[in-house]
Structure 1
Amino acid sequence: MFPSEFLKEHAEELGVVERDCKLQIPAFVWAFVFGFAAGESRTLAGFRRSYNATADEPISPGGFYNRLTPSLAEYLRDLVEVALDEVAVPDTVDADFDRFRDVMVADGTILRLHRFLADAYEPRKGEKGGARLHLLHNVTDQTIDRFSVTDEKAHDSTEFDTGPWLKDQLVLFDQAYFKYRRFALIDENDGYFVSRLKSNVNPVITGELREWRGDAIPLESEKVDDVVDELYRQYIDVEVEAEFQRREYAGTQSWDTKTFRVVGVRNKDADDYHLYITNLPREEFLPADLATIYRCRWKVELLFRELKTQYSLDEFSTSKKHVVEILLYAALLSLLVSRDLLDLVTEQADDELGFHQNAGRRPSGRTPNSSFTNSVNTSATLRHRCWNG
């Protein structure tokens, strides 16, 4: 993934190191990627100790901290971009999803920072700085496809771009991404989406996609929110017409309409419906299928949990913006490299051998490991030792 010559040459291009510098940049990079035990705190002193245990010549504390520059943050971000193109752990999604090129989940998580960073990373409230990490999680390949970092006030929705890349993709959204125009653009780019229906929208029903026997309440021409409380059927499956504004063009912004599908699955415990909006066809995806598909959104929550508990993504004691970025990109690199290691392990393992959550022994008091972590931790240790010669 990261040949030593590539690491050296790119570091020289960005001015991270000079050609005659004694710093060993491959050891420097791997110290940040593997320089802490999963679930433990990440400290700059710990990264320096890791480097000194690996490199030919040790580096002093002052020399190490002087290397933590904005150009190093840019360098590590570039490595994350490279890794995104390389890493995939395939065959993790059920066969029901075979018709899609990939299943994606868009989401974001908040990282709490030092109060001195409140100007660089503006929080929604309070005195402490707040950054927001936006991810497009590829559920099919169990990796990250896209990422961005903004201040906390930036809305998740602004970081999702539509375009031709959506062809044959299925994207799962929560209500933070809800926009009829976004859904229309996904459909027009031959992609698919499933989202929870936002509570403050009330589209008009233009047709029912399932016939009901007996004295069923007719839904056509009604608005979803106006009738949903009167229904007791197990499923709702209707077409709705949504009105939205197109993007401004030549100084004018026109209105448009689009037909989508709204599905309701009755939640017996709460005595109400989980409502979803989608462009998936009923012929292939029944209401119960939609509810099952949407549960894949939980995968991104597990990913955020893994980043925060295993790779200490939300532990930032520094008041320097570029050091925060260095630690953030280092955590993403640790995650992506661990995925690559898992792929290598599973390729060599017997078919009967499984890699599952909480495999093996766990020290008492530790946070439970997420999927893959035990095998990945062992592999990371082995790879670090092998690289060290």
Structure 2
Amino acid sequence: MRRLTTLFPSEFLEEHAEELGVIERDRKLQIPAFVWAFVFGFAAGESRTLAGFRRSYNSTADETISPGGFYHRLTPSLAEYFRDLVEATLDEVAVPDTVDADIDRFKDVMIADGTVLRLHEFLADEYEARKEEQAGAKLHLLHNATKQTIERLDVTDEKTHDSTLFHTGSWLEDRLVLFDRAYFKYRRFALIDENDGYFVSRLKESANPVVTEELREWRSRAIPLEGEQIHDVVDELHREYIDVEVEAEFDRRPYGGTQSRDTKRFRVVGVRKEDADDYHLYITNLPREEFLPSDLGTIYRCRWEVELLFRELKTQYELDEFDTTKKHVVEILLYAALLSLLVSRELLDLVTEQADGEIVFPPERWAATFRSHAQLILHELGEYLGYSPPPLLDRLIDDAQKIHQQRPVLQETLATATQPRCES
């Protein structure tokens, strides 16, 4: 419990909540219990409902809160507050390494990626989707595979292209960035190279650069590639690897009202797929003297780490099943899910430290274990923080009773409707 309260000290939670106006002066809401109820309430149970979060809070705090009082506190300020907690925690919590690749050559290996979250159609104006009559948000992550941290996150509508959220600059020096096709842009690759950084990306189907040089000699019967466009000849090749230099033409950023055209040479590598008659094609500026074609395939598999994060968020925390029509509630639940993931990783780090060095904890198996014990952890954390929730019987009565006295329950309605008929 000390590990968790060090991650989110109660004093910090209360002070920052006051700064943003999340809590009122009467302090009826106990903000540490409120935060932890969302963190562990998101992990526990088969469904993530606001009523479920309220029950988690009432089972932890000293005083229960009514449904109206709970929903009243789900505000845009709370969404901003949860986002601040996520950003404050990103650099503190490590994400376990799942790929054994030799990446010591670089200062950091960065992975940029995004995933779509489907939302209620009534949110289509706030979160515009690619298809009409739908709503969708997109979660963008920049993951540091070397330090095992999430360096940056952004939440946008679905139509915002991943590529617009990645910014080049001097920070790229001696760093390797791994991209999927959504970030493909020759100008971006040129800027990374000019900032002394490195990149590996899948080659887009629509990109067809001209081969200027083969970087490996083949037998005399091998199909010559120089002067050919790579996609025009790749289907005719049967060699184990493709390793060529290509020239790409692209537009530079407009300057002084004019836009210039430029060319840049990159390296394209093809690695034959297992049990298939075609290739995975990569474009990179990594030198052949240090990185063979097989090395690129191994390095690119590091991207699987961020894919595992997205899959865990969607399968374990049901991140893409938000049944709400309010934009700020979507953001609250999104950041609560990320907080749950970060807290889960912090506990995994603790478990790994305490366990035998030979024990392996697969991330998805750990996620399921964390979820199944989340309510118990919340209960023990509440005791550690000194909370004394009302007796269980009182909480059961409070949760089960009819909320609105003027609203008849179904059985009462049926009894009233049938009573005159029975008497007659």
**TM-score, length basis structure 1:** 0.91
Structure 1 window deviating more from structure 2 (26-35 vs 341-350): it is: 341-350
Matched, 1:387 2:381: yes
Distance 1:91 1:275, change over 3 A: closer
Question: 303, 320, 323: which one pairs with 1:314?
Answer: 320
Question: How far does residue 350 in structure 1 lie from its aligned partner after superposition?
Answer: 2.3
Contact 1:156–1:177 at 8 Å: present in 2 too?
yes
**1:154 aligns to what SS in structure 2?**
coil
Question: 337, 340, 354: which one pairs with 2:346?
Answer: 340
Matched, 1:81 2:87: yes
Residue deviations 1:222-277 (CA, integer Å, cap 9, x gap): 22123223322111101111121111222122222221100012236442222110
Matches of 1:372 and 1:194, distance apart in 2: 30
Matched, 1:372 2:372: no
Distance 1:342 1:232, change over 3 A: same
Structure 1 window deviating more from structure 2 (196-205 vs 167-176): it is: 167-176
Question: How far does residue 287 in structure 1 lie from its aligned partner after superposition?
Answer: 0.9
**1:20 aligns to what SS in structure 2?**
coil
**1:96 aligns to what SS in structure 2?**
coil
Matched, 1:26 2:32: yes
Structure 2: gaps of 5 or more residues: 1-6, 384-424
Question: How far does residue 379 in structure 1 lie from its aligned partner after superposition?
Answer: 7.0
Matches of 2:281 and 2:261, distance apart in 1: 25
Question: 13, 30, 46: which one pairs with 1:7?
Answer: 13
Residue deviations 1:94-142 (CA, integer Å, cap 9, x gap): 2512222333322211111112111111111131311111122333444
Identify the residue that residue 166 of structure 1 maps to in structure 2: 172
Matches of 2:350 and 2:274, distance apart in 1: 44
Question: How far does residue 194 in structure 1 lie from its aligned partner after superposition?
Answer: 1.0
Question: 204, 207, 214: which one pairs with 1:201?
Answer: 207
Question: How far does residue 282 in structure 1 lie from its aligned partner after superposition?
Answer: 1.1
Question: 349, 352, 358: which one pairs with 2:355?
Answer: 349
Matched, 1:243 2:237: no
Residue deviations 1:155-184 (CA, integer Å, cap 9, x gap): 111121222232232222111111001111
Matches of 1:141 and 1:45, distance apart in 2: 37
Matched, 1:215 2:221: yes
Contact 1:54–1:388 at 8 Å: present in 2 too?
yes
Q: Name the larger-Rg structure.
A: 2
Structure 1 window deviating more from structure 2 (246-255 vs 211-220): it is: 211-220
Structure 1 window deviating more from structure 2 (305-314 vs 65-74): it is: 305-314
Identify the residue that residue 146 of structure 1 maps to in structure 2: 152
**1:111 aligns to what SS in structure 2?**
strand
**TM-score, length basis structure 2:** 0.84
Contact 2:43–2:370 at 8 Å: present in 1 too?
no
**1:187 aligns to what SS in structure 2?**
helix
Question: How far does residue 90 in structure 1 lie from its aligned partner after superposition?
Answer: 5.8
Question: What one-letter code is carried by the residue in structure 1 that aligns with 2:134?
Answer: K
Question: How far does residue 93 in structure 1 lie from its aligned partner after superposition?
Answer: 4.3
Contact 1:156–1:176 at 8 Å: present in 2 too?
yes
Question: What one-letter code is carried by the residue in structure 2 that aligns with 1:115?
Answer: E
Contact 1:93–1:140 at 8 Å: present in 2 too?
no
Distance 1:239 1:119, change over 3 A: same
**1:54 aligns to what SS in structure 2?**
coil
Structure 1: gaps of 5 or more residues: 358-369
Distance 1:39 1:263, change over 3 A: farther
Question: 111, 129, 133: which one pairs with 1:127?
Answer: 133
Distance 1:48 1:313, change over 3 A: same
Question: How far does residue 70 in structure 1 lie from its aligned partner after superposition?
Answer: 0.4
Residue deviations 1:32-91 (CA, integer Å, cap 9, x gap): 111144572111001001111111111111000000000000110111111112111466
Contact 1:248–1:254 at 8 Å: present in 2 too?
yes
Identify the residue that residue 367 of structure 1 maps to in structure 2: none
Q: How many correspondences in the alignment?
A: 377
Matches of 1:91 and 1:196, distance apart in 2: 22
Percent identity over the alignment is 78
Matched, 1:176 2:182: yes
Contact 2:43–2:340 at 8 Å: present in 1 too?
no
Matches of 2:367 and 2:321, distance apart in 1: 19
Identify the residue that residue 291 of structure 2 maps to in structure 1: 285
Task: Point out the structure with the larger helix share.
Answer: 2
CA RMSD of aligned residues (A): 2.0
Contact 1:246–1:256 at 8 Å: present in 2 too?
yes
Distance 1:374 1:116, change over 3 A: closer
Contact 2:99–2:301 at 8 Å: present in 1 too?
no
Question: How far does residue 147 in structure 1 lie from its aligned partner after superposition?
Answer: 1.1
